[in-house]
Chain A
Amino acid sequence: MPERNVTVTNELGVHARAAAAFAQLSSRFECEIFVSCRGMEVDGKSIMGVMMLTAPMGAELTIRTEGEDDHDAVEQLAALVENSFGE
């Protein structure tokens, strides 16, 4: 059950588009994906959930995956956050 901490690097934080990018990428994996910030954990495949974290720049996200392709998922999602959600 891989887990990874990443820091939000983009200026606007996890805003709507960023949350959409995260959920879209999550949806491509079979495994379950959870993401948490400041003690609140949500389903990484749910846009509304990810948006609810209201994570600003500098906030720490914890990505936790569970299932068949969980290693792949955690790597790619961490990379997405570190690359400022491709912005």
Chain B
Amino acid sequence: MTQLSVSQFFEDMREDLDFALVAGREGINGKIRESQFQKNGLALAGDLGPVHPGRMQVWGYTELSYLKKLDSTARSDAISAFFGLSPCAVLIVGVDTLPDGITTLADTAQVPLIMTKLPGREVLPQILTYLETRLAPRAHMHGVLVDLYGVGVLIQGKSGIGKSECALHLITRGHRLVADDVVDIHLHGQELVGQSTDLLKHHLEVRGLGILNIKDLFGVVAIRYEKNVEMIIELVPWTADQSFDRLGIDLESKEILGHPLPLVRIPVAPGRNVPTLIEVAARNRLLQRMGYFSAHEFSRNLSAQIALENSRQSVDAPGAEN
């Protein structure tokens, strides 16, 4: 299961959201396990049941004004009971002062308290998006992710079969590189989103040329930061007896993170212009997305033609029923 340390969360968001760590530094290596956050009004009033310690806990003006109303013993009891559940962290939004005693209790319980003066309506959507992305199911796939006419195509195949060369060729034809070699894919709702790892971003390694910076060589139009992965193209060595799909009626698929993606296997051999084949596969995918399957259409026409021949034959045949 994916998880994220509170310290990572704090470092990543600190600048944008003006975060300050005011207490509970000892607990900073705790883990956030869920992307949702919780507001704690009722929990502080004593209803602790629904608190998920693996979620970011959020206090705003409502929670603090309630706490300020309590006398110091009741306040300290309420907070201690809440911290007793070991929540991964508490994010306090939209305020600049805390009631007395909270920081000491947080230090003792080792619950990190992160504060920001920015209002919740600004902070919360941002942390939700961030946490959803960071905590989404994720996989690293070997291959090259390219955007062809708006279709995210993951090109896979054994090392040395020419994935990067293909990608380079596609870039020279105006398509866009998302990631080479290691594609970081995460699930966003029902979509698989692919991006590059930070280190490899915009780079392509081609045997004989070395590591190329695509952004510098071809400009910003030749790259993309992320792209939904919509189909997989697998480059396979040409073998005489391997039966490749010759009709395109049966669509193969392959699962990534439990989601099936259409798979097209393309045999690589001298004289076959693989980038063109990939480009056409992407165009065909666009057609299929609109519900038009060339092979099905063709097959239907053929069957109709055969049926026609069949009826002609039975009319011509001597002794056929009339």
B-binding residues in A (CB < 8 A): 12-17, 20, 23-24, 27-28, 47, 51, 54-59
Residues in B whose Cβ lies below 8 Å from that of A23: 246
Q: B108: CB under 8 A from chain A?
A: no
Residue with the highest number of chain A CB atoms closer than 10 Å, among B243, B305, B309: B309
Given the known A-B contacts A15-B299, A15-B303, are A20 and B247 also in contact in the complex, defined by CB atoms under 8 Å?
Answer: yes
| B306 contacts A47, C-beta separation under 8 Å | no
Q: B310: CB under 8 A from chain A?
A: yes
Residues in A whose Cβ lies below 8 Å from that of B246: 20, 23-24, 47
Q: B249: CB under 8 A from chain A?
A: yes
Residues in A whose Cβ lies below 8 Å from that of B298: 16
A14, closest chain B residue (CB): B306
A-binding residues in B (CB < 8 A): 240-241, 243, 246-247, 249, 295, 298-299, 302-303, 305-307, 309-310, 313
| B313 contacts A56, C-beta separation under 8 Å | yes
| A14–B240 alpha-carbon span in the complex (Å) | 24
Given contacts A12-B306, A15-B303, A54-B305, 8 further A-B contacts (CB under 8 A): A13-B306, A13-B309, A16-B302, A24-B243, A27-B240, A28-B240, A47-B246, A56-B313
| A56 contacts B247, C-beta separation under 8 Å | no
Given the known A-B contacts A16-B295, A28-B241, A59-B313, are A54 and B247 also in contact in the complex, defined by CB atoms under 8 Å?
Answer: no
CB < 8 Å neighbour of B310 from A13, A47, A51:
A13
| A28–B302 alpha-carbon span in the complex (Å) | 25
B106 to chain A, nearest CB (A): 69
| A16 contacts B309, C-beta separation under 8 Å | no
| B249 contacts A16, C-beta separation under 8 Å | yes
Residues in A whose Cβ lies below 8 Å from that of B295: 16
A8 to chain B, nearest CB (A): 9
| A47 contacts B247, C-beta separation under 8 Å | yes
5 A-B contacts (beta carbon < 8 Å) = A17-B247, A23-B246, A28-B240, A51-B302, A56-B307
| B302 contacts A54, C-beta separation under 8 Å | yes
A85 to chain B, nearest CB (A): 13
Given the known A-B contacts A24-B243, A28-B240, A28-B241, are A17 and B249 also in contact in the complex, defined by CB atoms under 8 Å?
Answer: yes
| A16 contacts B247, C-beta separation under 8 Å | yes
